[in-house]
Structure formats: C-alpha cells, structure tokens
A and B are shown apart, each in its own frame.
Chain A
Amino acid sequence: MANVLVFIDNPGNALKKSTLELLTLGRSLGETAVALNGELHQGVSATLAEYGVSAVFRPSAQDLDDYLVSAKAAYLGAAASAAGAGTVLLDNSPEGKEIAARLGIRLNAGVITDVVAVDTDGTAHKSVLAGSYTTAARTTTAVSVLTVKANNVTPEPASVASAPETSTIDVPADATTGARITAREQKVASGRPDLSDARIVVAGGRGVDGDFGPVEQLADALGAAVGASRAATDAGWISHDAQVGQTGRTVSPQLYISAGISGAIQQKAGMQTAKIIVAVNKDAESPIFEIADFGIIGDLFDVLPQATEEIKKRKG
C-alpha cells in the first residue's frame, strides 16, 4: 500500500477530532507517517502510537509559523519525499488548502480540496457548486494532495498500536523567503464548540435586529456553536468568525437552526449540506423554507426563548 503523510500543525496538548479523522482515513489508504509542526507533547505522542502512525517527522527550523504558508509547504514537501508518500492529507481549513496549493506545485502533485471520502484506489469524493453536485475526482500524478473536511470519518485507533520513530526533516533554505507574519492577536474564545466541527449550529441573521441573546441561549441549551449570516456580521452584531456561507465558514452539522435568515444563495452555500435544517422566520416567502426540514413561520423572539425553556425543562 502507498505511504500516506498527514500534516499536523501545532496540535498543542491533544489532537483535535478532525486530526484523528485524518489519521484514521490515512490508515485506510496505507502506512501513515505524520509531519508535525510545533511542540510534540507526550499526550499527542501517545495518541499517534494508538493510531498506528509509523513515523513522526519534525522540522529542523522552529520558525515556520512566522511565514505565511510557504515555509510549511516547503517543509511538507521535504517530509513527503522522505516518507515516500503517495498521498498527503491536510485539514480543509483555509490555511490547510493554501499549504496544499503550494505543496502541489512543489511536488508536481494534483490537489483536491473539500474531500469528504477517499476510496482505496485514491478516488476522492466531494461536493461542488455550493452543494448542488457530488463529484468523484482523481489525481493523474504520482503524488496526491488532499484536504479533507471534518466530520466525515469516525476516528478509530488502530487494532495494534505502533511505536513511531521521530526524525528531523531539513527545511529547504528557500522556505523562509515569503510573506512574514509580523503580528498576531489571539481571538477571544467563546467557550462554545468550534463552528466548523460543531454537531449543532444555531445561526442568526438580520432578523435578530442586533440582539443575539435568544440565539446564544438556544445554542447553549443545545451545546451548539453560534453562526450568523453576513448581514449580521456586517452590522457588527457578532464577530465575522461566526459568518456561515460562501465567504465565511462552511458547516455540515447534524442540525442547523436558522433564525431570522432569509436564505440567500451565498448563505445556503455554507450550510445546505447539514443533515437537518430548521428555520424560524417571520416571512413565509423566505427562500430558507424551500430547504428546511422543519420550518416555523414566526417571530424568533417568541420561538427561540420558548424552545430554550422547554429544552431546559426536559433536561431537568
């Protein structure tokens, strides 16, 4: 079987669920090595062994994070060669896709983004045109670079744990010529689940009229992430990070509750692959009702608080 390289960027103390998904997918395709950037903590090391990783690579340079993408792509290119990788897997974040883009040129490798599943013969599945088509695609090159969306693989440790060797990859000298990141501000964490991986998303639009309270309270009762339409983020009612849609995040949760959002094509582009869509909107003509599994024609300021109370009551 082909060798697979999984890129793990600054995992911190524990691997994210989406990384465990990549490792599980990687193992289904071949012997899996990891190219890590950042600290390798003991907990992460132990998980990599549990997931059957055969080798762990680390970069010779510590400052990859100071350069925008290009340094990581150069490192990963060298790691892929060292691993003899036929497939490189990255997460589907904007940064993951960009690293994949540059890596593809470095390795003369085809890049496929937004992948939701990979067959053992390398065929990758994804949806395109804002979710209106599902497609299968392959690369025609010796190496394939794939960025994989979260929540499409069930993480599973290997049947037999491994004892991966760690080795250092020399980062090519041309890696540190690109754009430099000269300042970084940590964003305030909301304490809620991350929007991209959340099982449930409650999203508000212009209809909240400046008050995200009912949306946030329902989200908290459901353990959900909070999303928003561009009208709501443009108005400054909530951070741009919450924006779901073509130019915001793409989410694919089990449940998406849309409140006070009309359902423009650019909003639908980010959420219509949700398993179940619930819409609350005053206007029966809103296009969101065309795709809602359960639609409520009503005022969100009545419906959401009542639902929140009812959930609390039932959960006791």
Chain B
Amino acid sequence: MKIIVLVKHVPDAQFDRHLTGEGYTTDRDESILSELDEYALEAALQLAEARGGAKAGNHVIALSMGASGAVNAVKKALQMGATEGVHLTDSGLAGSDAAATSLALAAAIRHLGTGAPVDLVLTGMASTDGETSLVPAQLAERLGLPQVTFASSLTVDGGRITARRDADTYSETVEASLPAVVSVTDQINEPRYPNFKGIIAAKRKSITTLSLADIGVDPTHVGHAGSWTTVTAAEERPPRTAGTIITDEGDAGVRLVDFLAAQKLL
C-alpha cells in the first residue's frame, strides 16, 4: 500500500500565536507538527505495519506544504516511522487559503502517484491553526475521490475502507473504495513518540523537495493570488482578565447563585 499522510507545521498552541503581515498570516516562528496530524500518521503506520511494513511494499509518505521550517514536520514524521518525506515548498504558496492549499496538495499527490498509484491519503481532522477542516473534503473533491472524514476507527480490507464516525445525533459506519481521502479524529489511537532508533533511522531517510514547477502548478492559482478568500482585518482580542476569585468558606454555592442572580442568569 502507498499511503500519503499530510503533516502540517503549525504554531505551537502553548505559546501566544500571532497574525502578521499584509495578509494576516500566522507567524510560524515557534512551530511544531500539528498534534492532530500525529493521529493520522499513527493510523498510517499501523495500517502499514499490519501489512508487513516497508519490506512488504507498504510505504508511508509524509507530505508537508509550507515555507522552509515546514521540513521539521516532515522530519518528525520520519522519526515516528514514516518511510519517506516530501516537502512542497515554493514562495508562490505563501498565503494560500484552503482552496489554494487543496489545489497544490492535489497536484502534489497526483505527482507522487505517477508510477505506483496512491491508495490512501490520510489527514488530521483539522489543522490546529486554521481550524477549518476544509482541506480534506476539498482535496477529495479535487481528486474526484470519496472522502471519509472524522474517522474514529478505520479498517482496510482489500480495496475497501470501513470507518466509524460520530455525527451529532448518530454514530455512523462509512464505507468507501480505495483510493480515498480519510481524516481521523484524536479518538482513533494514541500516537507513538519517536524512540532513539527512530530518530537515528530518520537521519538516513530521504526528503524530496518539490516546487510548484515540479508538480505543474501555475503560481497564480495558489498563494495570495490564487486564494478565493482574503482576510481584510484582524484584531487581537484583549485577553480575558480574571474576575473575582473567592475561596470557599462553606457558602460558595450560595455566593455563586448570588453572582448568577446579579448577572440575570437565573
């Protein structure tokens, strides 16, 4: 099987995050592999391992799109166990919205499928910066593939994939034929930590760098120019400030109700 996992390099949510520059894009100084993509990578590794791993021809390719720093997301994925890394990077990509991102990623996936076709594209349920969860569905639409999104469990049997997903009022079982685009939630597994062996092995794995020219994408179709949305204003919200803090002296429940009454919330 040939599995592509999308890994995004995102600002670490543990620190303050900022929008900067003309297009109000996120400042990526303190960035990491998006935690939600680790679940997708783990799912891919488990599928590959269950089939005998790389020796039996099961390849997990970690693909990241982004500026130079994004290669760190690929490196982390290689340390966790991905077999190959691909870094799609080009100045023309800066400021891409979901539509432009899905266009570039679709072209990269088609490019990586020349020779041996791609069986599965795995992604996290959302990025932890943009938080839109648009890209997996848009990628599926662009590639003309079925999408199975928000999977909380996943099995692949022959050419079919079966997943469970939790909708608002239903739990659903979803089936699709491969190839497919699948996004997974944080319920699906417990991502592994890279171990020493993995970190050493990663140093020997290759990372392919691709440009827009390599994947045949016209720069005017991506980046700011090719995006279908534009941010016109951004304002940092004043951080919430702490209000009244009391220590319970046996009457805090009553004081809570007094507070709610004063706020007209009863």
Contacts and interface: CB of A to CB of B under 8 A. Distances in A.
Interface in B176-221: 176, 180, 185-187
A180 B172 CA distance: 10
Contact of A303 (B231, B232, B253): B253
A306 B173 contact: no
A305 B243 contact: no
Nearest to B12: A265
Taking chain B's interface residues, is the majority helix, strand, or loop, or is none over half, making it mixed? Answer: mixed
A100 to B, nearest CB: 7
A58 interface: no
Nearest to A94: B150
B252 interface: yes
Nearest to B186: A247
Interface string B1-32: 00000000000011011010000101000000
Given A123-B232, A182-B173, A186-B170, 4 more contacts: A104-B134, A135-B235, A183-B172, A303-B248
Contacts of B174: 68, 179-182
A133 B236 contact: yes
Chain B contact patch, size range: 35 or more
B171 A302 contact: no
Contacts of B248: 296-299, 302-303
Contacts of B142: 105
Interface of A: 68-70, 73, 93-95, 97-98, 100-102, 104-106, 108-114, 123, 127-141, 177-187, 189, 196, 200, 222, 230, 240-241, 246-247, 254-255, 265-266, 269, 272, 276-278, 280, 284, 289-299, 302-311, 314-315
B228 A111 contact: yes
Contacts of A305: 253
A292 B243 contact: yes
Interface stretch (B57-65, B79-87, B114-122, B256-264): B256-264
A254 B263 CA distance: 10
